Amino acid sequence: MELQNDLLIRAARGEATERTPVWLMRQAGRILPEYRAVRNKLSGFIELATTPELAAEVTLQPVDILGVDAAIIFSDILVIPEAMGLPYEMVEKKGPYFPNTIQTEDDLAKIRVADVASDLAYVTEAIKIVKKELNGRVPLIGFAGAPWTIMAYMIEGGGSKTFSKARRMLYNNPVLSDKLLQMITESTIQYLKAQIAAGANIVQIFDSWAGILSPDHYKAYSLKYISQICDAIDEVPVTVFAKGAFFARQEMRHLNCETIGLDWNMDIQNSRRLIGEQKTLQGNLDPCALYGSPLEIENNTKKMLQAFGNTRHIANLGHGVYPDTDPEKVKVFINTVKEYSAYMRSKEV
């Protein structure tokens, strides 16, 4: 199936595009009343993520309602630990909770590299439905968590301000840490390949807890494994979004990936200088900017577009859209990207 709108893929590959593509992290989610209508009929988040027809339905909503240039499969990065043998619950207003965690070699012996075909069939099934419904309108983004971020949850057992138990493991048991990271990496490579086989046109790796590691640990325990994943995926373009890893931008230029995501607090010019000209950058409007007036949103979006320039940019926020954002404000952002980025190109000498 040829894509009718392949702006995202071309921008990722560094090809010229007639305008800047735009999508939003967490676009399929609580900002849309249509999402909440589906969600409220169910027992919880996990039921939604594991029911392919419903996951597909909410994946498609922002394409129809907001007019984004890509769909991103509705799922969760924690399906990987679950498939490895560490189930989790999603506690309303609190976040994920793992009844069992990894602390010792014995704990490690109880888990396995995920058997993606059997354990994560609900995700690939959802992808197939989405692809059919999209019918080539826009690309579909697959995703997974980065191994360090997944490990952090598997050791900590849930969210944390400091993830000090997980970081303690890196100091106290580097051997166990590396074994666990390698198992997660192998599971993730299989998982992303299955998403691609099912139809994902591009994949993104989310390293949500990148920013809490020291630069040395980040290199040794996160970049090393992200790098393995990037090297293993050659079917489609790869995006790496390492939240808070400002200190690793220079090293990320060496990753075998097409696109690097930027936080909203990363200066665009500095990031371009550190990361170099060979990557597409994705981001990075402050999600809170969408609380401003339409005029302010337009102005902030234009300023961002100017700073990124006409090539190698995929417009997005610098973080997931906040749940209480007015969808009409999101549309102002999206429409400004579409119109102003086309205008910017028309003014090029």
Q: How far apart, in Å, are the Cα atoms of 315 and each of 6, 14, 208, 309?
A: 14, 14, 19, 11
Q: Is there a catalytic annotation at residue 137? A: no
User: ∠256-259-263 over CA atoms, to 5°?
Assistant: 125
Q: Is there a catalytic annotation at residue 167? A: no
Does 346 help bind a copy of itself (rule: CB under 8 A)?
A: no
Question: In the Cβ-directed half-sphere of 94, how many Cα atoms lie within 13 Å?
Answer: 10
Does 212 help bind a copy of itself (rule: CB under 8 A)?
A: yes
Q: Is there a catalytic annotation at residue 36? A: no
Task: Pick between residue 19 and residue 313 the one whose CB is nearest to a copy of itself.
Answer: 313
Instruction: Kindly indicate which of the ranges 9-17, 27-35, 67-75, 319-327 contains the residues binding a copy of itself, using the contact rule CB under 8 A.
Output: 319-327
**Pairwise CA distance, residues 292 & 280, whole Å:** 28
Does 158 help bind a copy of itself (rule: CB under 8 A)?
A: no
Q: How far apart, in Å, are the Cα atoms of 135 and each of 2, 129, 204, 268, 346?
A: 9, 10, 21, 35, 30
Distance linking the first and last C-alpha atoms of the chain = 35
Selecting among 6, 19, 69, 76, the annotated active-site residue is: 76
Type of residue at 349:
V
Contact 319, 263 (CB under 8 A): yes
Tokens 């360090």, residue located:
148
Among 117, 81, 114, 115, smallest CA distance to 99 is for 81
Does 333 help bind a copy of itself (rule: CB under 8 A)?
A: no
Q: How far apart, in Å, are the Cα atoms of 97 and each of 44, 78, 81, 275, 329?
A: 14, 10, 12, 36, 33
Instruction: Kindly indicate which of the ranges 47-55, 77-85, 119-127, 168-176 contains the residues binding a copy of itself, using the contact rule CB under 8 A.
Output: 168-176
Near a copy of itself by CB under 8 A: residue from 286, 302, 307, 309: 286
Does 220 help bind a copy of itself (rule: CB under 8 A)?
A: no
Task: Pick between residue 4 and residue 104 the one whose CB is nearest to a copy of itself.
Answer: 104
Does 218 help bind a copy of itself (rule: CB under 8 A)?
A: yes
- Six-digit token pair at 158? 């849930």
Does 167 help bind a copy of itself (rule: CB under 8 A)?
A: yes
Backbone φ and ψ of 254, nearest 5°? -90, -5
Q: Is there a catalytic annotation at residue 39? A: yes
Range 224-253, binding a copy of itself (CB under 8 A): 244, 246-247
What 3-state class would DSSP assign to 202? Answer: strand
Near a copy of itself by CB under 8 A: residue from 287, 294, 309, 327: 287
Near a copy of itself by CB under 8 A: residue from 34, 296, 298, 339: 296
Compute the least distance from the CB of residue 320 to a copy of itself, in Å.
10
Does 209 help bind a copy of itself (rule: CB under 8 A)?
A: no
**Pairwise CA distance, residues 329 & 343, whole Å:** 21
Does 104 help bind a copy of itself (rule: CB under 8 A)?
A: no
Does 215 help bind a copy of itself (rule: CB under 8 A)?
A: yes
Q: Is there a catalytic annotation at residue 26? A: yes
Near a copy of itself by CB under 8 A: residue from 42, 91, 288, 342: 288
Near a copy of itself by CB under 8 A: residue from 14, 85, 211, 327: 211
Total binding residues for a copy of itself by CB under 8 A?
A: 33
Task: Pick between residue 213 and residue 236 the one whose CB is nearest to a copy of itself.
Answer: 213
Strand ranges for 173-277 from DSSP E: 202-207, 238-242, 259-261
Sign, CA torsion 71/153/290/298 = negative
Near a copy of itself by CB under 8 A: residue from 30, 122, 125, 264: 264
Q: Please give the residue ranges that form the binding site for a copy of itself (CB under 8 A).
A: 162, 164, 167-168, 170-172, 211-215, 217-218, 244, 246-247, 264-267, 270, 286-289, 291-292, 296, 318-319, 322, 324
Residues with a catalytic annotation lie at: 26, 30, 39, 76, 153
